[in-house]
């Protein structure tokens, strides 16, 4: 340890902790990251994948702030897939499967290269409180470290209990101790705490899988990177296998439900509805005869395979039986059984927008401790808390993230105003401004602001500035070029031949006209980098929708006090998703404003309610 006083101390080296420590140090704060085992910094507790729908947006925003997750994940990526490729860019989610070892090693190397960041191995057992403020931490052996602010990112470790069938034992995750002394300390603040649970599947020995019998799923031919700084994968790319559960597997699971920790009443915490265990799936979707299971290799130098879709807390012998009943897995060997974990979280409504505890100044919380689930959600919160804690120590205030400019802002607002009733994960449907909050423009939304507060380094800033110049030059060229309508009709555009010629920018707003098509019509456009051209195309498509989004936001704000009848039959509102219908029936909000505060409510859902209420008024 180089110092005994720091600007910021971060407790925990998971996905929230590494981003919090790195962003604070990038801003010029003197930082210590204290974690139980230095060797597990950057460990992925569950699936070896980063990104996806909503989550990919968060990674891009972390990257736009010059964070680590996107770059490290790209370096470790062994299969890249852009989810929702056929849908519009606003709901596309870049995702990759990572080599666990490369991810962990790269993350550790990145952290070691950060100036003014000390990595300290140890358990934080207590916090120092002076004059009503948290001013440091006390390690297990009694050593004290003082700081302007402390950020807790202890994940699932607060009073963590692991469940394997009927067997339980304390633990932060498999192979790690729980954090019990710190949990006792948190009790002393009188915060509202809750209990949540999550689970993970067994890990399989890939040498014992009959891959020949399985369908193969390769990655995308044109991989989309998570970081704005990267253009192509570094690691060798692999394919995954696909198998399915079947009637026999479901029978085995049903017969043993009473032995599942999730179902036997041993676990009181609430689990993630969006990421159900296989026991949940078999019970909740009883009419489904099979569920898809992706067999994802965990890396290039290991035979371990992660069976995505069958997280479980059944006893080990039952896991063995149902897994072996599936195609290609008859001889499979389980390397590590699946298990569930139950842990304490802090009701995030006790936090400010900077993720500082309102009643415990100097103490910030980020990651799973706030009731979220997922690496990406944790990393994004790490950026919020790290940025704010560093700014406070350095004597200025960091601007807050807002719902209209980032998914990070959506998440923070959801957490601190609505709290959580189940582990919170990001979805594009949570963002009412999702047409403008796209993964492709996260840098345009956040990098300049990050540069102003000092968290964006020179290399990123230069790359970003050059990109902005190329975009501007491209927009000017396209706004000055003209295309007769007949030429556009010739490439498939659905236009009235009588209309006047269109500029390149106008032509790109037509669904049938891609940048490559335009560049074929007009070779002078080949001066524009095709990636810049594609970005301008995305902006052109959305410019019309953005006006509508703005009008919708105004309608919702205007109709906030509109009453909703108590006996409103939500089942008869066409277009309302079953999830929202379920929540509205449960809460029966008295007004549009109350409906807006229901967790997971969307702008589209609110507009349906406003229209229905107008119709029946
Ligand atoms: P973590 O990554 O858990 O990191 C916490 C860190 O804090 C660790 O480094 C730990 O050593 C350190 N620490 C704890 N207490 C102390 C202390 N007192 N002193 C010093 N250091 C301490 N997410 C999904 O999206 N999908 C899933 O299916 C899923 N399943 C999961 C299954 C399991 C069994 C587990 C354990 C997690 C699962 N997750 C899943 C969640 C995902 O792993 C987390 O959301 C994410 O890792 C949270 O990041 P974090 O930084 O908040 O905490």
Instruction: Give the model's pLDDT for residue 267.
Output: 67
Residue 261 has pLDDT above 90, yes or no: no
At 427-454, the pLDDT tens digits run 988 887 888 899 999 999 999 999 999 9
For β-strands 482-483 and 161-164, DSSP reports them as: unpaired
- For the chain, the average pLDDT equals 92
- Would the CB of 34 count as within 6 Å of ligand 1? yes
| Distance from the alpha carbon of residue 47 to the mean position of ligand 1, in angstroms | 12
Tokens of 16: 């929230």
Mean pLDDT, range 293-312, rounded to an integer: 95
Mean pLDDT, range 538-552, rounded to an integer: 83
Which protein residue's CA is at the shortest distance from atom 38 of ligand 1?
46
At 91-136, the pLDDT tens digits run 889 999 999 999 999 999 999 999 889 999 999 999 999 999 999 9
The whole-angstrom separation of Cα 483 and Cα 373 is 50
Which protein residue's CA is at the shortest distance from atom 26 of ligand 1?
374
Tell me, letter by letter, the H, E, C secondary structure of 80-144.
EEEECCCCCHHHCEEEEEECHHHHHHHHHHHHHCCCCEEEEECCEEEEEEECCEEEEEEECCCCE
Residue 472 has pLDDT above 70, yes or no: yes
Residue of 373, 379, 424 with the most ligand 1 atoms within 8 Å of its CB, for mutation: 373
Q: Per-residue b/e over 567-605, b at no fewer than 16 CB within 10 Å?
A: ebebeebeebeeebbebbeeeebebbbbbbebbbbbbeb
Tokens of 455: 């968290």
Q: Which residue has the higher pLDDT, 235 or 601?
A: 235
Nearest to 433 by CA among 464, 401, 456: 401
Instruction: Give the model's pLDDT for residue 332.
Output: 96
Query: 280: annotated binding-site residue?
Result: yes
C-alpha distance from residue 65 to each of 76, 225, 615 (Å): 20, 16, 45
For residue 372, the ligand 1 atom closest to its alpha carbon is: 45
| Distance from the alpha carbon of residue 45 to the mean position of ligand 1, in angstroms | 6
The whole-angstrom separation of Cα 571 and Cα 616 is 15
At 29-60, the pLDDT tens digits run 999 999 999 999 999 988 899 999 999 999 99
The whole-angstrom separation of Cα 389 and Cα 368 is 18
Which protein residue's CA is at the shortest distance from atom 15 of ligand 1?
154
Mean pLDDT, range 498-508, rounded to an integer: 91
- Would the CB of 155 count as within 6 Å of ligand 1? yes
Query: 34: annotated binding-site residue?
Result: no
Judge residue 86's burial from the number of C-beta atoms within 10 Å of its C-beta, 0-12 exposed, 13-18 middle, 19 or more buried. exposed
Nearest to 367 by CA among 101, 12, 66, 9: 12
| Distance from the alpha carbon of residue 589 to the mean position of ligand 1, in angstroms | 35
Instruction: Give the model's pLDDT for residue 2.
Output: 66
Query: 362: annotated binding-site residue?
Result: no
Instruction: Give the model's pLDDT for residue 264.
Output: 63
Instruction: Give the model's pLDDT for residue 260.
Output: 84
Residue 582 has pLDDT above 70, yes or no: yes
The whole-angstrom separation of Cα 248 and Cα 76 is 37
Residue of 51, 154, 163, 415 with the most ligand 1 atoms within 8 Å of its CB, for mutation: 154
Enumerate residues 6+ apart whose C-beta is below 8 A from 448.
464
* Lowest-pLDDT choice from 71-80, 266-275, 392-401: 266-275
Q: Do the Cβ atoms of 271 and 263 come closer than 8 Å?
A: no
Which protein residue's CA is at the shortest distance from atom 24 of ligand 1?
374
- Would the CB of 464 count as within 6 Å of ligand 1? no
Nearest to 229 by CA among 340, 51, 381, 74: 74
The whole-angstrom separation of Cα 314 and Cα 320 is 10
- Would the CB of 605 count as within 6 Å of ligand 1? no
Tokens of 69: 């997750």
Residue 573 has pLDDT above 80, yes or no: yes
Query: 276: annotated binding-site residue?
Result: yes
Tokens of 118: 């000390």
Percent of the chain with pLDDT over 70: 98
Reported as a pLDDT band with limits 50, 70 and 90, residue 418 is confident
Reported as a pLDDT band with limits 50, 70 and 90, residue 470 is very high
For residue 45, the ligand 1 atom closest to its alpha carbon is: 43
- Would the CB of 198 count as within 6 Å of ligand 1? yes
Reported as a pLDDT band with limits 50, 70 and 90, residue 541 is confident
CB neighbours of residue 400 within 10 Å: 14
Query: 271: annotated binding-site residue?
Result: yes
- Would the CB of 373 count as within 6 Å of ligand 1? yes
Q: What distance lies between CA 258 and its chain's CA centroid?
A: 33
Nearest to 302 by CA among 559, 102, 509: 102
Place of tokens 């009790």: 187
For β-strands 193-200 and 203-205, DSSP reports them as: unpaired
Residue 593 has pLDDT above 90, yes or no: no
Judge residue 133's burial from the number of C-beta atoms within 10 Å of its C-beta, 0-12 exposed, 13-18 middle, 19 or more buried. middle
Query: 16: annotated binding-site residue?
Result: yes
For residue 34, the ligand 1 atom closest to its alpha carbon is: 20
Residue 247 has pLDDT above 80, yes or no: yes
For residue 18, the ligand 1 atom closest to its alpha carbon is: 51
């Amino acid at each position: 340890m180089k110092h005994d006083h720091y600007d910021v101390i971060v407790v925990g080296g998971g996905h929230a902790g590494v981003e919090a420590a790195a962003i604070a140090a990038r801003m010029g704060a003197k930082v210590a990251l204290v974690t139980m085992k230095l060797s597990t910094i950057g460990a992925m507790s569950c699936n070896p994948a980063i990104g996806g729908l909503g989550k990919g947006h968060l990674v891009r925003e972390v990257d736009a702030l010059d964070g680590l997750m996107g770059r490290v994940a790209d370096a470790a990526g062994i299969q890249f897939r852009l989810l929702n490729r056929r849908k519009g860019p606003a709901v596309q989610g870049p995702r990759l499967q990572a080599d666990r070892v490369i991810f962990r090693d790269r993350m550790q190397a990145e952290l070691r290269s950060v100036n003014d960041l000390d990595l300290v191995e140890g358990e934080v057992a207590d916090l120092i409180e002076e004059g009503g403020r948290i001013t440091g931490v006390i390690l297990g052996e009694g050593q004290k470290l003082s700081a302007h602010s402390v950020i807790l990112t202890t994940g699932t470790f607060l009073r963590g209990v692991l469940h394997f069938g009927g067997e339980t034992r304390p633990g932060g995750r498999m192979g790690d101790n729980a954090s019990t002394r710190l949990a006792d300390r948190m009790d002393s603040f009188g915060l509202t705490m809750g209990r949540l649970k999550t689970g993970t599947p067994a890990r399989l020995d890939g040498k014992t899988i009959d891959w020949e019998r399985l369908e193969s799923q390769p990655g995308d031919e044109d991989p989309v990177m998570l970081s704005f700084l990267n253009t192509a994968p570094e690691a060798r790319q692999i394919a995954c296998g696909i198998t399915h559960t079947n009637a026999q597997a479901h029978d085995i699971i049903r017969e043993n439900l009473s032995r599942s920790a999730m179902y036997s009443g041993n676990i009181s915490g609430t689990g993630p509805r969006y990421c159900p265990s296989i026991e949940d799936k078999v019970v909740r979707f009883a009419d489904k005869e099979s569920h898809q299971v992706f067999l994802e290799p965990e890396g290039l130098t290991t035979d371990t395979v992660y069976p995505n879709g069958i997280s479980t807390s059944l006893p080990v012998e039952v896991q063995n039986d149902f897994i072996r009943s599936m195609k290609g897995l008859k001889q499979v060997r389980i390397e590590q059984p699946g298990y569930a974990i139950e842990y304490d979280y802090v009701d995030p409504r006790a936090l400010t927008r900077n993720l500082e505890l309102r009643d415990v100044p100097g103490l910030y919380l980020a990651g799973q401790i706030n009731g979220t689930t997922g690496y990406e959600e944790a990393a994004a919160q790490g950026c919020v808390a790290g940025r704010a804690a560093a700014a406070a120590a350095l004597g200025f205030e960091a601007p807050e993230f807002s719902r209209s400019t980032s998914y990070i802002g959506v998440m923070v607002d959801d957490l601190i105003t609505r709290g959580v009733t189940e582990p919170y994960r990001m979805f594009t449907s949570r963002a009412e401004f999702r047409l403008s909050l796209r993964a492709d423009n996260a840098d345009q939304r956040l990098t300049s602001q990050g540069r102003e507060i000092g968290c964006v380094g020179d290399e990123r800033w230069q790359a970003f500035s050059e990109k902005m110049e190329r975009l501007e030059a491209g927009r000017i060229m396209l706004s000055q070029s003209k295309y007769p309508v007949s030429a556009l009709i010739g490439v498939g555009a659905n236009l009235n031949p009588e209309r006047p010629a269109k500029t390149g920018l106008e032509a790109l707003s037509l669904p049938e006209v891609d940048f490559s098509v335009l560049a074929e019509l007009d070779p002078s456009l080949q001066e524009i980098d095709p990636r810049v051209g594609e970005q301008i195309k995305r902006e052109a498509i959305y410019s019309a929708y953005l006006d509508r989004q703005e009008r919708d936001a105004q309608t919702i704000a205007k109709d906030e006090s509109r009453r909703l009848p108590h006996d409103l039959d939500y089942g008869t509102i066409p277009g309302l998703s079953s999830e929202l219908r379920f929540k509205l029936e449960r809460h029966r909000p008295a007004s549009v404003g109350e409906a807006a505060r229901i967790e997971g409510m969307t702008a589209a859902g609110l507009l349906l309610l406003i229209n229905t209420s107008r119709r029946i008024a």
